[in-house]
Amino acid sequence: MAELEQRYTQDPLFWRAGAIATTIFMSMVLAALTIDTLRQITPGSPRVPSYDVVNNSITYEFDPARAEYAPKVGGEELIFGHKYSAEEASDLVGKGKLVIQSRACIDCHTFFGNGAYYAPDLTRAWMDPVWMRYAGPKRADKLAVFLMHPLRLGARAMPDLHIQRDEAEAAVAYLKWMSSVDSNGFPDRFGAASGQ
Amino acid sequence: MTPSQMLATAILLGGFVAAAGACGLLYCAARISGHKLLRAGGYVSYAALCLIAFALVAFTPLHVGWKVLIAASCAVYLMIPPVTWRYLTRLHREEKIQWYPTSSAR
Amino acid sequence: MYRSQRLGLKYLTASTVMFGAMIAFGVLSSIYYIRPGFLLNVFNFSTAKIIHIDGLVIWLLMGFLGAIYWFLPQELEREVEGIALAEILFWVFCAAVAVVVVVFLFVQYGSATEASMWFINQGRKYVEAPRWAALGIAAVMGVFAFNVIGTAVKARKSTGILTVLILDLVPLVVLYFDAFPEMRNMSQDLFWWWWLVHLWVEATWEVLIGCIMAWTLIHLVGASRRVVESWLYVEVALVLGTGILGLGHHYFWIGTPRYWFAIGGFFSALEPLPLLGMVVHAVYDAGSHHLRAANRPAFYWTLAEAFGNFIGGGVWGFMMTLPQINMYSHGTQWTASHGHFAFWGAYGCGVIAVLYLALEKSRGYEGIDGRAWKWSFALLNIGMLGMVGALLVAGMDQAFYERAIGGSTWNAFLAMQGRPWFIEGMWTRFASGLLFACGYGILVYDLLAARPREATVSDSMAAAGS
């Protein structure tokens, strides 16, 4: 037995075969999981609402069944005085993504915790207690104005990135849609500390 | 999980892998030099690894699956240095390696 | 010297310059944390950080290319196929990097149009460079792959190490396609983005540096090819066996299904295993050569690579990888601590080892020693430890107060930034960064001024068989 073990393990080709087999197997599992995951994160799925969720109210509440916080989509709560069709919402959110990329927001902020750590996480920015004092339509306006003319709040100032009104509205719509995505409870206890 | 438990668990997890590394380092250093102090250090890291694994299993609020993984990892980490050492010495013995520094390429 | 090796030296030189640029913008980035409102609306944090992290990717990629162009002709004992094209593309690469940096410096961002994506800033982390430059990088890497594979084909032979490298180059180049698209759905964007980032730095790059270290060991200490190749296969099996599904540890919070908790957490927890094997191997090699090698800096930087990879990637990573911890450590300075340490240990140290090896061989020295490399080694590593330690303390404070207690709101974030341990952490990180920068300065001095090692009495005794 020991001789067999030695003969195999001393042979580089044994390990080469192992490396190839392991890589192929793991890659196949990853491919299968990727197909399933992509399906589950397509807008309109239970985890990722479709883009016209921007027409609805979105809150973040503790779900006892899951023992974690989860976004909850409610009744109609429009932004910018407009009810967006599915296509309009998709275009608006698409433009919002372009705003976020063109200004490299992810190089100061985090989205689902990914990005830079110089500025707050934006996953639930739509529901941040600072904005929650305003009802949906007014909140959207306040947020858009902030993006266009950032106030210096606290020691960490947000720069003026020359965001135009239409870009600001698109970015706000993006943040609203993104806040409805089920991120498995991240960030935990968002808003709970301030009694929301 | 309270915030304090979260930090304590994280520190234990890091300490767990660090102890495994110390085990590996000291085991090999002891095999090379035969120094008593290094061997003692190896046993101390070995004990530290098991102690930390026990603390993680018994005192942290990690889910049970992770605790099983940690216990199994503890056993595997203990095996890696001697198994790797044995493999490397056999491999070098086959090649009849010279242990002298050389700057020329093979 | 082969033409390919001259090109390798050019790439290694460019890599060293980019390393310096990365450090400069890293030190700059750290100032924003300690001086509120620093250069606000003139040169924002985001721009400084972009040049810092993109500089990281470029200096390491150039280091890898330099190493491979250096080793490849010796491996196959012939000139590299398509070398003339590669030489032209080197200058194109450098010019593209320069243009991208100039645009980042002076234009910084554009409006929300496709033109901004093509010419100014794509705004996705690590791959902010505009699409035209991404095309350039893809072309450079494509030609590089052609150089490697074409030479093996023309030579009608390959070696174990080279075969592993060739097989690794294919996914490495293909993964770069994620540097181009702009995806509306953030979950989907991040899902594919992590394929690029994780499957580069925790899979294909690990294999790449494994091949480079294998060649380094052969040329540095005369390691047996069979030993080094066997070990490489073991490492590839373990690194890819754990790293491919370890990708799941980035899929906890981006909207993807819950099964990634178990899969990602489990395989991620196994990722330290091959790194421990590397530590054992490094100690074995160090011991069997009685901690001596003719090229002492290359030898010690190779050891630093094994240990740094294990501690920075393995220990630091394991601390934060389980989902119950990661929920709170995610997206904090704790992450930055791990990132800095892992990149340094896994890749930075390895490239520096190759710098010294190429330096020695290209100047025809028999070994390298001196005092400067020791100062540089000490300052770079102590500086890195200082940065990483400071970020760890600040990050743990952040995970505790901002995430776990504060609920990660805007106010929780702002309150956190003013906490004493956080502020001290940021100052310590800045000071350590300056130490690191000093280490870099001495490294450059040493690379320019290094003298060959003088033979010593112990060397002759070793040669005589004591």
Six-digit token pair at C212?
A: 């480079």
Helix (H) or strand (E) holding C228: helix C225-246
Contact C128, A106 (CB under 8 A): no
Amino acid identity at C209? I
Helix (H) or strand (E) holding B4: helix B3-33
Sign of the CA dihedral running A55, A60, A62, A66: positive
Instruction: Count other Cβ atoms within 10 Å, centred on residue B106.
Output: 11
**Cα→Cα distances A175→A114, A128, C445, Å:** 15, 11, 49
Q: Point out the residue among C125, C187, C410 whose CB comes nearest to the CB of A41.
A: C187
What is the ipTM metric for this complex?
A: 0.95
pLDDT at position C185, please?
A: 98
pLDDT at position C458, please?
A: 46
Q: CB contact, 8 Å: B85 with chain C? A: yes
pLDDT at position A2, please?
A: 67
Q: Which of B 43-72 lie inside 8 A of C, CB atoms?
A: 61-63, 65-66, 69
Place of tokens 């791990």: C338
More confident residue, B73 or A193: B73
Q: Which of C327, C329, C353 is nearest to C339 (CA)?
A: C329
Distance, in Å, from the CA atom of C396 to the CA atom of A55, rounded to the nearest integer, reads: 38
Distance, in Å, from the CA atom of C390 to the CA atom of C385, rounded to the nearest integer, reads: 8
Name the closest residue on chain C to residue B96, using Cα atoms. Answer: C224
Helix (H) or strand (E) holding C95: helix C83-106
Distance, in Å, from the CA atom of C417 to the CA atom of C44, rounded to the nearest integer, reads: 18
Distance of CA C308 to the CA centre of its chain: 12
Across the range A116-138, mean pLDDT stands at: 92
Q: Which of A 108-127 lie inside 8 A of C, CB atoms?
A: 108, 110-121, 124-125
- Report the SS3 class of residue A192: coil
Per DSSP, the residues of C287-348 read HHTTT--SBHHHHHHHHHHHHHIIIIIIIHHHHHHSHHHHHHHTTSHHHHHHHHHHHIIIII
Distance, in Å, from the CA atom of B50 to the CA atom of B44, rounded to the nearest integer, reads: 10
Query: In order of start, what are the domains of chain C with their CATH numbers?
Result: 1-182 (1.20.210.10), 184-453 (1.20.210.10)
Q: Do A6 and B90 touch (CB under 8 A)?
A: yes
Q: Give the pLDDT of chain B (106 residues) as one tens digit per residue.
A: 899 999 999 999 999 999 999 999 999 999 988 889 999 999 999 999 999 999 999 999 999 999 999 999 999 998 888 988 888 888 777 776 544 333 333 3
Domain extent listing, chain A:
2-40, 51-179
Instruction: Tell me phi and psi for residue A69, to 5 degrees.
Output: -80, 145
Six-digit token pair at A42?
A: 């397509």
Q: Which of A35, A158, A58, B25 is nearest to C287 (CA)?
A: B25
Six-digit token pair at C347?
A: 């890749």
Sort out which chain C residues have CB atoms less than 8 A from A154's CB and list them.
414, 417-418
Evaluate the omega torsion of the peptide bond into residue A159 and state whether it is cis, within 30 degrees of 0: no
Domain extent listing, chain B:
3-95
**Is the confidence at residue A111, as pLDDT, over 60?**
yes
Q: How far is B36 from chain C (nearest CA, A)?
A: 16
**Is the confidence at residue A3, as pLDDT, over 70?**
no
Q: CB contact, 8 Å: B82 with chain C? A: no
Residues near C42 by beta carbon (within 8 Å), at least 6 away in sequence:
none
Which residues in chain C land under pLDDT 70? 291, 453-466
Distance of CA A58 to the CA centre of its chain: 14
Helix (H) or strand (E) holding A118: none
How much is the pTM? 0.94
Distance, in Å, from the CA atom of C371 to the CA atom of C364, rounded to the nearest integer, reads: 20
pLDDT band of residue A36 (cuts 50, 70, 90) is: very high
Sort out which chain C residues have CB atoms less than 8 A from A161's CB and list them.
109
Evaluate the omega torsion of the peptide bond into residue C171 and state whether it is cis, within 30 degrees of 0: no
Among B17, B49, B87, the strongest candidate for a mutation testing the C interface, having the largest count of C CBs within 10 A, is: B17
Q: CB contact, 8 Å: B94 with chain A? A: yes
Question: Each residue of A149-167: pLDDT tens digit?
Answer: 998 766 788 999 999 999 9
Q: Name residue B69's beta-bridge partners.
A: none
Across the range A77-89, mean pLDDT stands at: 96
Q: CB contact, 8 Å: A195 with chain C? A: no
Among A10, A15, A188, the strongest candidate for a mutation testing the B interface, having the largest count of B CBs within 10 A, is: A10
The burial of C120, by beta-carbon neighbours within 10 Å (0-12 exposed, 13-18 middle, 19 or more buried), is given as buried
Name the closest residue on chain A to residue C51, using Cα atoms. Answer: A107
Distance, in Å, from the CA atom of B85 to the CA atom of B97, rounded to the nearest integer, reads: 15
Q: CB contact, 8 Å: C181 with chain A? A: no
**Is the confidence at residue A73, as pLDDT, over 60?**
yes
pLDDT at position A194, please?
A: 54
Q: CB contact, 8 Å: C371 with chain A? A: no
pLDDT at position A4, please?
A: 64
Distance, in Å, from the CA atom of C275 to the CA atom of C345, rounded to the nearest integer, reads: 11
CATH T-level assignment (fold) for domain A51-179: Cytochrome Bc1 Complex; Chain D, domain 2 (1.10.760)
Distance of CA C301 to the CA centre of its chain: 14
How far the first Cα of chain C sits from its last, in Å, is 35
Sort out which chain A residues have CB atoms less than 8 A from B94's CB and list them.
10
Distance, in Å, from the CA atom of A23 to the CA atom of A17, rounded to the nearest integer, reads: 10
Amino acid identity at C391? L
- Report the SS3 class of residue A153: coil
A120 secondary structure, DSSP code: -
Q: Which of C344, C307, C301, C294 is nearest to C455 (CA)?
A: C294
pLDDT at position A79, please?
A: 95
- Report the SS3 class of residue B52: helix
Q: Which of C66, C193, C67 is nearest to C126 (CA)?
A: C193
pLDDT at position C202, please?
A: 92
Distance, in Å, from the CA atom of A164 to the CA atom of A185, rounded to the nearest integer, reads: 33
Distance, in Å, from the CA atom of C149 to the CA atom of C156, rounded to the nearest integer, reads: 10
Q: What is the 3-state secondary structure (H, E, C) of C30-48?
A: HHHHHCCCCCCCCCCHHHH
Among A20, A102, A153, A190, the strongest candidate for a mutation testing the C interface, having the largest count of C CBs within 10 A, is: A102
Six-digit token pair at B72?
A: 């199994």
Contact C57, C347 (CB under 8 A): no
A121 secondary structure, DSSP code: B
pLDDT at position C224, please?
A: 84
Neighbors of chain A with 3 or more C-beta pairs under 8 Å:
B, C
pLDDT at position A159, please?
A: 95
Q: CB contact, 8 Å: A160 with chain C? A: yes
